[in-house]
Structure 1
């Protein structure tokens, strides 16, 4: 027996989201808007999950952990932290705006926009595939450890989208085939005898 329901939540907004700066693994907390977003998401999911068996796992970066704790507090459960759920490391791009990245790494930025999964971000960061695989591994490991109920994983837009591609067995899909998760929105997957199935996406 395994858990049949997995909910993947992107963290709420930060000041770097608001100013369109690459965050990567830089630990930027939620801003006031993000705190409100996390609470509204917690309120919505509480209605679905209250009274059921729930495990919550989060990236150890504060913006994700804050979002996770908003829901955990309502459900009276603990939050487990797993660094494998962190956002893709963006190397020297972290903290920079699009214009600043284009100025210094124009060709690489164009490749990233096209969805290149083997481009190493910021010169010394990760590739999309690397981030996707480590994030997916955390989700699969946690799901297999559950006999029933719902696994909630809170993380980051890039890593979670890549993990979804990986879990669905479609890592070669063009990146633009699926829009990014918006702040404090979630996706829902189910594990069946035939593999993973995406049932909802960008829900709030």
Structure 2
């Protein structure tokens, strides 16, 4: 399970955070607390998180409910986006319009001179896989990270071409996506969910 952090002031202002260390708002803490009570019902076996404060504080709420420790990894940080960081969406489009359009088309772009999305996946996906490999076959791993990093990690685990990762869509604050291992590799079971997974009934079960 990959869980996005709670709300920050820069989220509300539509500022690109990247790896800038922005704390949760009071509402963000409340979001994490509510979600943690739900996720605890899944009986997670391990929690790993980005070491940026917004993800660490979100993970801490689940740790408080479950009693599990949290292991923090720099590799789970949000994408470094150089000169884009701290700018609003409107400012990015005005100043870096061609670069922004190329990124939206799925071209490999170093937004603001920062990381490529594939480089984010290169550092984040191995952290998730290593942690998952330490669990029993039916173990539940909770990964607390950031919207862009989660999307690229899911894309890499599913074996999708990087040009199509954008099709996964974003995650709302404190929502999560659920992956499971199937006969043909990783499967996306839930995306941008805010409620507990329900059994799949019918021909696709």
TM-score (norm 2): 0.90
**8 Å contact 2:45–2:135 — kept in the other structure?**
no
Equivalent residue for 1:143, pick from 132, 138, 141 = 132
C-alpha offsets along residues 70-115 of structure 1, whole Å, 9 cap, x if unaligned? 0011000110001111111111110001222223211101112233
What is the deviation of 1:173? Answer: 4.8
Instruction: Work out whether 1:58 is the aligned partner of 2:49.
Output: yes
Q: Which residue does the alignment assign to 2:35?
A: 41
Aligned residues: 193
Runs of 4+ in structure 1 off by over 3 angstroms are: none
What is the deviation of 1:169? Answer: 0.5
Q: CA RMSD in A?
A: 1.3
Equivalent residue for 1:156, pick from 126, 135, 146 = 146
Equivalent residue for 1:12, pick from 6, 15, 18 = 6
CA distance in 1, matches of 2:45, 2:26: 27
Query: Where does the alignment leave 5 or more consecutive residues of structure 1 unmatched?
Result: 1-6
Matches within 5 A, 1:169-188: 169-188=159-178
Q: Which residue does the alignment assign to 1:128?
A: 117
Matches within 5 A, 1:38-117: 38-49=32-43, 54-116=45-107
Q: Specify the SS of the correspondent of 1:122.
A: helix
What is the deviation of 1:193? Answer: 4.3
CA distance in 2, matches of 1:46, 1:158: 24
Q: Specify the SS of the correspondent of 1:174.
A: helix
Relative contact order: is structure 1 or structure 2 higher (C-alpha 8 Å, sep ≥ 6)? 1
**8 Å contact 2:59–2:144 — kept in the other structure?**
yes
Q: Specify the SS of the correspondent of 1:112.
A: helix
CA distance in 2, matches of 1:143, 1:47: 19
Equivalent residue for 1:32, pick from 26, 30, 42 = 26
TM-score (norm 1): 0.90
